[in-house]
Structure 1
């Protein structure tokens, strides 16, 4: 881990999810506190709408959603960042650059937060990561490949 402070990561398993049993899809909701720098990761079969429906989160739209899904014979991670569209704080280019700079930390948090599952099923480390930047501005509305989840140990 290059950037993650494990003491600042709090992981919650939602109903039906456990630390060491694979459910597909396996969905991740990552939010944070701007004041303390604490990261909050929820893992479940659905996204944690309780975290994303709070007023501040709806205004900032700085949460990151991800999912581990089965695409044919491979498990892959798809990560979703809301860059622009609707009512959000900040310009698209600024938000895109912030998401890009913080994505290594985000991916480290997801991998570390689900380390028990990855230790049980090490082939998950071979899963490719695709990041979906979602924007009404075509310059920032794109999908990028970010290597493998193992790159974020």
Structure 2
């Protein structure tokens, strides 16, 4: 896993979202530059589809209410059949390796929200790996944001 560097993270708010409001709807689009290693986090009431490149290596996240609690759902695009199984296996491996960095970046990038609502630290993180290959298409629990500190 790459080491998180806060100086490489650039955060933008869009669609009427502020540093602390609203919690729902609140969508995260995390992209990066392979050349510079910079991370770009857009926080809005919808995903920033215009920021997504053809490689589809973004991390998408959203808060959802489940009963009386909030869960954080993450969506990772492995493939939809356009890659052979070896390429999809590599994409799966990269996402799994870099996901802790991505979750730390989201936690740090939206730290003012977490400061305003400390209970979000304990929200369950559910990861959806989206793939046409059954061995890569799955849902996993990755603990809580408490497991991805930035300090």
Q: TM-score, normalised by structure 1?
A: 0.91
Please give the alpha-carbon distance, in whole angstroms, between the structure 1 residues aligned to 2:31 and 2:99.
13
Q: Is the 8 A contact 1:79 1:130 kept in 2?
A: yes
Render the CA deviation track for 1:87-141: whole Å, top value 9, x for unaligned.
Answer: 4697111100000000000000000000001001100101000110000000000
Render the CA deviation track for 1:31-74: whole Å, top value 9, x for unaligned.
Answer: 0000000000000110002202xxxx12x110111111111111
Match of 2:77 among 70, 82, 93: 82
Partner of 1:124: 120
2:7 corresponds to 1:12: no
Q: How does 1:93-132 map to 2 (within 5 A)?
A: 93-132=89-128
Q: How does 1:11-90 map to 2 (within 5 A)?
A: 11-52=11-52, 57-58=53-54, 60-87=55-82
Please give the alpha-carbon distance, in whole angstroms, between the structure 1 residues aligned to 2:17 and 2:62.
13
Task: Indicate the RMSD between aligned Cα atoms, in angstroms.
Answer: 1.5
Q: CA deviation at 1:78?
A: 0.5
Higher mean displacement: 86-95 or 110-119: 86-95
Partner of 1:146: 142
1:116/1:88 Cα in 2 relative to 1: closer, same or farther (>3 Å)?
farther
Please give the alpha-carbon distance, in whole angstroms, between the structure 2 residues aligned to 1:134 and 1:120.
32
What secondary structure sits across from 1:117 in the alignment? helix
- The runs of at least 4 aligned residues of structure 1 exceeding 3 Å deviation read 86-90
